[in-house]
Amino acid sequence: MRNYNKTKIFFILIALIMIITSCSGNPKPQEEKDNSNSPPELPKVYTEIEEEILKTMFSIDGIAGIEKALEEKEKAKEEVAEESEVDLKPEEKEKPAKEEIDVKMLVKMEAVVIPLLEEEDIESEIVMVDEVPGDINKVWYQINQLVNTLHTKWNSLEPHLQKAGVDPKKIQEFEGNLDSTTVFVNEKDTHQSMIALNHLLSNLYDFGGSFKTKIPSEVMKIKNHIREIVLMADAEDYPGALSNFEEAKRLGEALKQRLIEKDATDVLQKFELSMEDLNKELQKENFNLIQIKGGIVLKNTVAMKEAFEGESK
């Protein structure tokens, strides 16, 4: 009888241990489930692609300035030859001609979106040079190399997108726009190349919502619309520019409460006032002022980005 009681107690203890173990083990699968539902971190290559696209846009926008510099160089060479009393060698004509030309100034004077890109600290060693390049084709070759790099980086980003569950149609759309961009760059079509690159950025920002990031996708999309406004105004497509303005305004409204919560009311006020100023110039269809006011809006949008990153308030 005593042995029976001991056996009974033993089995009761085993049962209690099993119950306690099973209860304490329950939270772990739930925790794992919660982790599996959270979005993955934004891959580094995503940011690299964004910077590469902006750098390529800067380089293409600089083409007009480089072409102007080449024209100025030829004129200067002719003037040097006319003023000289003796026959000069080609290199003797070219050296003073190069020294007289400020390439960086000409690039900025002929630019469309470079003033906006500079607000994001984007640069391009391809066109912001001290001396006039020898051949415009060499400049285009370097730009084509940037586009080739985009294809390589896209190949690295795509698996991350698939793993994050991005809509396959959005992935295909990016690929299609990347191919179109490549064609326009090969054809040396500056305007269409910049439009295609900006559309590529729009596709890229659509992916951002599938990853963990401090910056709302609306902020990035506003920047995209402001660039598009300036590009369309340059082509005198003012209905298209106004359509992009309305979309940027809508996105700004969507961010309003979050900026207030971030104690960034000053940033919000500057953004709203700069948008009002931009709208006035769009109504007047004055490109130079649209470019200036667009740059100010973009500067304020960068300040929004920093507010969400916690770099400033």
Q: pLDDT tens digit string along 125-172?
A: 999 999 999 899 999 999 999 999 999 999 999 999 999 999 999 999
| pLDDT confidence tier of residue 253, bands split at 50, 70 and 90 | very high
User: CB-hemisphere CA count at 13 Å for 135?
Assistant: 5
**Which CATH code of 1.20.120.660, 3.30.565.10, 1.10.3470.10, 2.40.360.20 fits the domain covering 214-313?**
1.20.120.660
* Greatest Cα-to-Cα distance within the chain, rounded to the nearest angstrom: 132
pTM of the model: 0.84
The two three-digit tokens of residue 303, written as one number:
């300040």
**Nearby residues of 80 by Cβ (< 8 Å), 6 or more positions away:** 88, 92, 93, 96, 97
Q: Write out the residue limits of the CATH 1.20.120.660 domain(s) in the chain.
A: 214-313
pLDDT 10s digits, 208-231: 989 999 999 999 999 999 999 999
- What b/e readout covers 119-154, taking b as 16+ CB neighbours within 10 angstroms? bbebebebbbbeebbeeeeebbeebeebbeebeebb
The set of residues, in sequence order, having a beta carbon less than 8 Å from that of 248 and lying 6+ positions away, is: 221, 222, 225, 226, 229, 275, 297
